[in-house]
Amino acid sequence: MSFTSHSLLPDNVLLLFKSDLWEQQRELAHAIDRTEKEIRALADLGSGDVVDDSSDNASKEAVFASYSQNRVRLRRVELALKRISTGDFGICADCGGTIGLKRLQALPWANNCIECQAQSEQGRVN
Ligand SMILES: [Zn+2]
């Protein structure tokens, strides 16, 4: 196994992030799979039953909401894994500086440092 990473984080730290992200990826894939089945089951129910009460709709919406949320989460996790494999993990895409470990632990898919993030948020407000 060759590590071509030029990330500033030591390999053992990257490995911890990786295994954590793999775990999340697996869980999210399962959750998405499960909700896809639920959505199909709900669709089957809906087609057979003309009586559509609002509690059914509410649970349908909840399933769809968690489905799209998990899809977004999975994309982020995959993005973080990609950044690890390309060696960009932990490096700010805006200023090229390092992203703090605490920020990465909270948001492994963060692609900019806290300063650049704060600046872009300020830019949005002004
Ligand atoms: Zn930055």
Confidence class of residue 48 from pLDDT cuts 50, 70 and 90? Answer: low
pTM, to two decimals:
0.79
Instruction: Give residues whose Cβ lies within 5 Å of ion ligand 1.
Output: 92, 94-95, 97, 113, 116
Expressed in angstroms and rounded, the spacing between residue 18 Cα and the centre of ligand 1 is 22
State the pLDDT at residue 9: 87
State the pLDDT at residue 59: 83
Confidence class of residue 110 from pLDDT cuts 50, 70 and 90? Answer: very high
CA dist., res. 51 & res. 69, Å (int): 29
CA distances from 8 to 62, 86, 100 (A): 41, 12, 11
Expressed in angstroms and rounded, the spacing between residue 19 Cα and the centre of ligand 1 is 26
Three-class DSSP category at 91: strand
**Residue 68 structure tokens:** 């799209």
Residues 22-34 have a mean pLDDT of 97
pLDDT tens digits, one per residue of 50-107: 555 666 778 888 999 999 999 999 999 999 999 999 999 999 999 999 999 999 999 9
Three-class DSSP category at 38: helix
How many CA atoms within 13 Å lie on the side-chain side of 72? 6
Three-class DSSP category at 98: strand
State the pLDDT at residue 82: 96
Bridge partners for 98 per DSSP:
91
State the pLDDT at residue 119: 92
Cβ atoms of 97 and 107 within 8 Å: the answer is no
- What's the one-letter identity of residue 67? Y
Count the neighbouring beta carbons within 10 Å of the beta carbon of residue 58. Answer: 10
Average pLDDT, the chain: 87
**Does 26 score more than 90 pLDDT?**
yes
Expressed in angstroms and rounded, the spacing between residue 63 Cα and the centre of ligand 1 is 37
